[in-house]
Amino acid sequence: MRARLARRLFVLTFLLSPWSAHAAVQARPQPAAASEMPRVRLIATGGTISNKVGGRLTADELVALMPDVTRWAHPETEQFANLASGELTLGQWLALSKRIAALLDQDRDLAGVVVTSGTDTLEELAYFLDLSVRSDRPIIVAGSMRNPSTLGYEGAANLQDAFRVAAAPEARGRGVLVVLNDEINAAREVTKTDALRLNTFQSRAYGILGVVDADRVVFYRDVVKRHTAKSEFELAPVATLPRVDVLMVYQGAPGDLIKAAVDQGARGIVMATAGAGATSGTQDEGIAYATGKGVFVVITTRTGSGRIAARVRTGGPRGTSSAARSEYQIAGEDLAPIKARILLMLALTKTQDPTDIQRMFTEY
């Protein structure tokens, strides 16, 4: 009995001692120091994620909405713009791409970049960066469907998910990624499918690349098309992007809209055709007018999915209208019309060779 009592007194004395308390604290896992965390740069451009009643949140204010972000990354901020996505100009797109490229080139220890954008044209900006920033480090584009003054604002959660993906080593080499609603989608494949719902960004038949869950970032598949580090597009010498317009096929559509675009300086036109390439009205006349003047016409589908395959080129001798139409008409593969526009703009900064441009639409 005395022996058991002595043991109990020893244990009690140990638990109450300062040394024991110190040991218990030391045994708990400690958070990594800020200097040891992956550094991720937020480049804010505006959009609904920032657009609160009475003004727009800055990049610093957005980061302040994420008190737990330092569990995964050390955040840095940069305010590039603070506009609705549709108000950004193509010149600003160029400047943003060049800025991200320079940042990743100069700061080799930076783990990744997060870009905020309005959701209306988010998928376009993401694909432009996917083709034009030549780096294998993660570039994540994020936004929100509800503004900071709205009940149920999801912007902070989306942004924190974006930081987590940018800091994840598994995200490297996968191209520009779009992160919203706990899901990871490829910039090339994702599209906004609903004007209001939170799950609006989807890759339809292709499916998500991965998810951001409470325990970790999980990837299920990869993107096999060329992008980012493997891209051939170099924007350093490019001052302006060529004009490329998108026109839709609808019953009885006039070809004079195509002619007008050409006459106003379009160097390329993307046709969002019915089904697998059908036109209507006098659009064939407009396409012949465009290709006859050396303007590229890319054929895509308005259906939301499906592939437009390149056809065997036929026609008369070079210089005839039929040969010109065949030469300058490009199959858009499975790219959505607005994505095909971006690829054609970048293609035209490099070449006027129809065969080379068709190759690009096959590879990217």
Please tell me the distance from the alpha carbon of residue 266 to that of residue 287, in angstroms, as a whole number: 13
Angle at 343 between CA 230 and CA 337, to 5 degrees: 135
Q: What are phi and psi of 46, to 5 degrees?
A: 115, -145
Please tell me the distance from the alpha carbon of residue 265 to that of residue 242, in angstroms, as a whole number: 9
User: What tokens appear for 36 in the block?
Assistant: 């040891």
Instruction: Report yes or no: 293 and 263 within 8 Å, Cβ to Cβ.
Output: no
**Measured on CA atoms in the order 12, 16, 19, 22, is the torsion positive or negative?**
positive
Please tell me the distance from the alpha carbon of residue 90 to that of residue 342, in angstroms, as a whole number: 10
Contacts of residue 208, Cβ cutoff 8 Å, sequence gap at least 6: 183, 184, 185, 202, 220
Which residue bears the tokens 């936004």? Answer: 143
Q: What are phi and psi of 269, to 5 degrees?
A: -135, 135
Do β-strands 217-219 and 244-248 pair in parallel, antiparallel, or remain unpaired?
unpaired
Alpha helices of the chain — where are they, by DSSP H? 2-16, 18-27, 59-64, 90-106, 122-132, 155-167, 256-263, 283-292, 321-328, 337-348, 354-363
The one catalytic residue among 45, 48, 191, 228: 48
Let me know if 86 is exposed, middle or buried by CB neighbors in 10 A (0-12, 13-18, 19+).
exposed
Instruction: Report yes or no: 88 and 125 within 8 Å, Cβ to Cβ.
Output: yes
3-state secondary structure of 161: helix
Please tell me the distance from the alpha carbon of residue 344 to that of residue 352, in angstroms, as a whole number: 11
Catalytic annotation on 355? no
Please list the active-site residues: 48
